[in-house]
Chain A
């Protein structure tokens, strides 16, 4: 069974050989710190740990086009102030893993929307997709019958990107001060996604899933009320998922950190049926509880509490065993619930991977070995 077949079988509760072994990624600081604990410098962690291949994305642009120029405005030593490609001026640490701090937003009201953002969100902009021979090459790759990896199509964001452009405070005000503007932004974002998806899927590409990103929750719950979410966002999620479903794409991911308890049923209602990465947090989200509450209609990915990776090998083994029945049932691919932070000991992570391969991967011979990246590279070369 190749990774593409395995992914599709899991998400549709069909027979498969085992669960893929995947990660959410690592902080840069983690890999640097782990070098003092035995991790070899300069080696790709996925190769080193023997991960299964993750999905690849269809390369299409559903966000701002053209992007704002990235400008380094001020060098402050350990931090710097830059204008990002989304037009936001941020202060970011050069050496810290911290998320950049927003200092100023180009998008503040209807005028700035019309002047700077709306023109960058033309749904019919041909430059959103490769052209000519590049497009033909991409199509050939994406539609190749023997493609062995899961392919995802980008399905954008209806709130997360707008929140970044405005900042949390201003978008919160806009929802009440100028609701038509908020609605127009959401509709425009959905229009772009639908137009691009129509071109790609209309050309015969059949990805295994679509992927959305929102990050619209924190430890206390959603960053907007479920009532407004249902009124304003859900109809446009439904437009997007209906387009995807029309072409047989029935697995739609949403990447949202934080406590998603109040949003998950609304996403499911809208056809966004795969929650990722199910951040456990102090609110104790639990993939088993999600399955109990929403049944097999809701697929899950993530949900392994990264704090357990910091604790002990016994705790890691217990959690792997606890999640195993859900892995067996299907519709679930476990990974750490976010990038692995530097306070996870390298030894613990090695143990986690070996246990995951033994329990979730059933110890099968087609698993990649841990700690032998060279061997992996050779295997890949001869495959």
Chain B
């Protein structure tokens, strides 16, 4: 069987064409292409390209979402093959919207982009209490905790989350990144977070820096 053109996989994900992404992945699997190569050399770089365009205002939320959907479609094809290969994710992220806040659009976008960037996501949901966060960190042992808030009134919950991680002796085990409409770099530093991003693509860059993976 002839070797499929894997650049088409890259392009399908960048263009947000889920059917084509799945079809090219299927073809590649049938031709015996190493799924790890597909993931590392074409699929994750495709999402990186989308992230770069997003940060440059060359694509927007809809384009980002359909690219992530195409990435997922290709992942569905190669996941069964990766399972037996003990392929490690780039890192594990516990993500939550803080207590008092029911917003999840920003959190979901960040989770989607992190997943596209090769991270394993544990989404704890919205209105998450410090207790619930601690429980999730203890259970899933992530490298990163990502916290989102949309309201100035719920931002202080981020500090309570971090304080609680300190109390439970978990703070040194995780990097904490924060984001959301009212959150700033200054606020992140003030509450003792390790990092801040003002957009979903930047969150992937930050997460990679935390786990020592080159972008």
* Interface 1/0 per residue, A165-181 and B, CB below 8 Å: 00011011101100000
Q: How far is the CB of A232 from chain B (nearest CB, A)?
A: 12
- Tell me whether B198 and A175 are in contact (CB under 8 A): no
**Bound complex: CA of A262 vs CA of B69, how far in Å?**
26
- Docked Cα-Cα span, A220 to B203, in Å, equals 13
The verdict on B124 contacting chain A, using a C-beta distance below 8 Å, is no
Distance in angstroms from B35 CB to nearest chain A CB is: 26
Question: Could you tell me if A262 and B57 are in contact, using CB atoms closer than 8 angstroms?
Answer: yes
- Inter-chain contact B153/A29, CB cutoff 8 Å: yes
Of all chain A residues, the one with the shortest Cβ separation from B100 is A96
The answer to whether A343 and B181 have CB atoms under 8 Å apart is: no
* Residues of chain B within 8 A of A220, CB atoms compared: 198-199
Per the 8 Å Cβ criterion, residues 202-257 of A in contact with B are 218-226, 228
Which residues of A in the span 315-355 have a Cβ within 8 Å of any Cβ on B?
Answer: 341-343
Q: Report A-chain residues with C-beta under 8 Å of the C-beta of B198.
A: 219-220, 282
Whether the Cβ atoms of B103 and A99 lie closer than 8 Å is yes
Once A97-B151, A307-B152, A341-B151 are accepted as A-B contacts, the answer to whether A172 and B102 lie under 8 Å apart by CB is no
Among B61, B100, B108, B184, the residue within 8 A (CB) of A98 is B100
**Do A225 and B102 contact each other (CB < 8 Å), given the known contacts A29-B153, A101-B126?**
no
In the complex, the answer to whether B152 meets A98 with C-beta atoms within 8 Å is: no
In the complex the two chains form, is A98's CB within 8 Å of B65's CB? no
Indicate whether B4 reaches chain A with its CB closer than 8 angstroms: no
Q: Which residue of A lies closest to B17 (CB)?
A: A176
**Interface residue count on the B side (C-beta < 8 Å):** 31
- In angstroms, how far is the closest chain B Cβ from the Cβ of A137? 41
Distance in Å: Cβ of A98 to nearest Cβ of chain B:
4
Q: Is the interface of B mostly helix, strand, loop or mixed?
A: loop
CA gap between A307 and B66 in the complex, in Å: 35
Shortest CB distance B113–A (Å): 12
Which chain B residues numbered 53 to 109 have a C-beta less than 8 Å away from chain A?
A: 57, 59-63, 65-66, 69, 100-106, 108
Which chain B residues border A100 with CB–CB below 8 Å? 102
The residue in chain B whose Cβ has the minimal distance to the Cβ of A101 is B102
Q: Do B60 and A218 touch (CB < 8 A)?
A: no
Evaluate whether A98 and B181 lie within 8 angstroms (CB atoms) in the complex, with A172-B66, A224-B61 already known: no
Does A281 sit at the interface, judged by CB under 8 A? Answer: yes
Cα distance A223–B54 in the bound complex, in angstroms: 12
- For the complex, give the distance between the alpha carbons of A173 and B16 in Å: 10
With known contacts A101-B126, A173-B65, A343-B153, A168–B105 Cβ distance under 8 A: yes
Q: Smallest Cβ distance from B36 to chain A, in angstroms? A: 29
A362 to chain B, nearest CB (A): 32
Q: How far is the CA of A228 from the CA of B63 in the complex (A)?
A: 11
Residues of chain B within 8 A (CB-CB) of A310 are: 152
Least CB separation from B61: chain A residue: A223
A98 touches B57 (CB 8 A): no
A270 CA to B108 CA, complexed, in Å: 33
Docked pose: A169 CA to B100 CA in angstroms: 23
- Closest beta carbon of chain B to A337's beta carbon, Å: 12
User: Across the two chains, which residue of chain B brings its CB closest to A92?
Assistant: B102
Task: Contact check, B153 vs A225: say whether CB atoms are below 8 A apart.
Answer: no
Residue in B62, B105, B182, B184 whose Cβ sees the most chain A Cβ within 10 Å: B62
Tell me, yes or no, whether A91 is within 8 Å of chain B by CB.
Answer: yes
Inter-chain CA distance A93–B97, complex, in Å, is 14
A171–B62 alpha-carbon span in the complex (Å): 8
Across the interface, A172 reaches (CB within 8 A) one of B62, B103, B126, B127, namely B62
Encode contact with A along B145-156: 1 for CB under 8 Å, 0 otherwise: 000001111100
Q: How far, in angstroms, from A281 to B62 measured CA to CA in the complex?
A: 23
> Can you sample 5 A-B contacts with CB below 8 Å?
A79-B102, A98-B150, A98-B154, A218-B181, A223-B61
- The list of the 4 closest CB pairs from A to B, nearest first, reads A172-B62, A101-B102, A225-B60, A98-B102
Beyond A99-B150, A218-B106: 20 further Cβ-contacts under 8 Å? A79-B102, A93-B127, A97-B151, A98-B154, A99-B103, A101-B104, A168-B105, A172-B65, A172-B66, A176-B66, A220-B199, A221-B57, A224-B61, A224-B62, A225-B63, A228-B62, A281-B181, A281-B182, A282-B182, A307-B152
